[in-house]
């Protein structure tokens, strides 16, 4: 009979990766059952986003609903559903279907009736009198949480040690930026190799949580600063590979940094353990006041506490790139072993810096002193005409009682005339 009804046994198998199952049919009587296989896809154990659930949430008290749609007599689409029952690792359902074209899809729910898996692509099959066994290649994908607006946490700064000491704590400082409403988990890990290479390596871990910190907040971001430590065993030896990371509770993803820390080494001191840099004393810049148009300056200084350092004098303009300058040391015998002098010539009188650099051991040790050289002449020089000494025209004499009397001439009256008493006049006594 053309519109005969058939009983189909529809089974849902959890087969990871079985995304494209073929339609299986054999020549059997129409009274035989039809079997449907549905793959849930991968188990998504390595998730990079936050999903509403996984297959364990389905198998532990959850449910699977199979939907099948077809065209009715009035040319409208009718979709029916049926709950599937778990049977071992499978989900099955008994359905009675008429011949015709059906479109199948499925949804999976957790124990709280929240949909956590949905069909990737619905599949359409033709049910005929010859169809006795049907396998569906439906892939159910996990449903993402709505995490829009939650940024991925990033490690903006990390402070790591250059070496470690066995039997102590290794401190790692960090700055992490994440979403304002996101809970962040910080962790660090290292593997301590077995010292005798005969036993298992030791994992050392530590964890902390953003809920224990007080972040600085800007817009939708929170910035966390803290330290996390690792207890390094006393028998640790050799370089260690350390991982620091941050995970987002909302996104179920995060950022990680890996770095290597060498074991601290013992160093014995020798005669070159401490090197003292010499100092500069009595630094002077001298300008020849009689040469107002000169572009040359004389420098001089003394060196104190020199223990085998070489010294060099150089000059650099602050900003005048087109100008040039030369430094000519005075190596004459006029100066002692710790005295230095020379001439600084500037093509233009722009400001700059005179640098005295001390080096030792081919540049292994180096230190510089800088002195500002102002623009123009170092000193403004003004020349004035002095007043002559005050002229005393009268001729005076001093007696034993310290009384002063005028012998000739008049106070304040100059001249050159012979005479007695006030009639005489003098230009300069």
Q: What are the structural domains of the chain?
A: 5-142 (2.60.40), 154-263 (2.60.40.10), 279-373 (2.60.40), 391-429 (no CATH)
Highest mean pLDDT of the ranges 187-201, 272-286, 298-312, 366-380: 298-312
State mean pLDDT over 118-134: 81
pLDDT in tens, 262-272: 888 765 555 55
What does the alpha-carbon distance between residue 211 and residue 189 come to, in Å, rounded to a whole number? 21
Q: Tell me the pLDDT tens digit for each residue of 234-254.
A: 888 888 999 999 998 887 788
Segment among 20-29, 205-214, 218-227, 385-394 with least mean pLDDT? 20-29
C-alpha–C-alpha distance, residues 233 and 203, integer Å: 10
pLDDT at 171 > cutoff 70:
yes
pLDDT of residue 37: 43
pLDDT for the residue 285 = 80
Residue with the bigger pLDDT between 275 and 356: it is 356
Q: Choose from 3-12, 35-44, 165-174 the range with maximum mean pLDDT.
A: 165-174
């Amino acid at each position: 009979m053309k519109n005969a009804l058939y009983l189909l046994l529809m089974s849902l198998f959890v087969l990871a990766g079985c995304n494209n199952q073929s339609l299986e049919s054999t020549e059997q009587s129409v009274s035989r059952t039809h079997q449907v296989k549905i793959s849930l896809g991968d188990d998504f154990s390595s998730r990079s986003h936050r999903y509403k659930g996984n297959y364990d949430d389905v198998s532990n008290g959850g449910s699977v609903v199979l939907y099948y749609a077809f065209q009715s007599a009035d040319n409208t689409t009718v979709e029916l559903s049926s709950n599937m029952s778990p049977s071992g690792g499978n989900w099955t359902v008994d359905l009675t279907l008429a011949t015709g074209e059906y479109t199948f899809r499925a949804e999976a729910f957790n124990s709280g009736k929240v949909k956590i898996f949905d069909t990737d692509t619905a599949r359409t099959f033709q049910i005929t009198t010859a169809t006795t066994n049907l396998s569906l290649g439906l892939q159910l994908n996990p449903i993402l949480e709505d995490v829009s607006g939650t940024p991925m946490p990033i490690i903006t700064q990390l402070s790591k040690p250059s070496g470690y000491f066995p039997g102590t704590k290794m401190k790692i400082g960090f700055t992490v930026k994440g979403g304002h409403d996101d809970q962040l988990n910080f962790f660090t890990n290292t593997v301590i190799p077995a010292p005798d290479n005969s036993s298992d390596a030791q994992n050392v871990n530590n964890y902390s949580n953003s809920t224990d910190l007080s972040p600085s907040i800007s817009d939708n971001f929170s910035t966390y600063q803290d330290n996390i430590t690792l207890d390094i065993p006393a028998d640790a030896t050799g370089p260690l590979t350390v991982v620091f990371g941050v995970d987002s509770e909302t996104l179920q993803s995060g950022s990680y940094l890996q770095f290597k820390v060498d074991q601290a080494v013992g160093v014995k001191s020798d005669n070159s353990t401490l090197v003292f840099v010499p100092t500069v004393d009595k630094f002077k810049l001298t300008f020849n006041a009689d040469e107002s148009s000169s572009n040359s300056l004389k420098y001089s200084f003394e060196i104190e506490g020199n223990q085998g350092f070489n010294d060099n004098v150089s000059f650099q303009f602050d900003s005048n790139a087109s100008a040039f300058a030369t430094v000519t040391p005075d190596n004459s015998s006029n100066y002692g072993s710790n005295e230095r002098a020379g001439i600084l010539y500037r093509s233009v009188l722009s400001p700059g810096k005179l640098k005295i650099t001390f080096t030792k051991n081919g540049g292994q040790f180096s230190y510089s002193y800088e002195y500002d050289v102002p623009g123009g002449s170092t000193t403004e020089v003004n020349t004035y005409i002095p007043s002559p000494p005050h002229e005393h025209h009268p001729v005076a004499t001093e007696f034993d009682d310290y009384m002063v009397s005028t012998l000739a001439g008049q106070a304040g009256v100059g001249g050159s005339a012979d005479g007695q008493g006030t009639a005489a006049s003098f230009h300069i006594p």
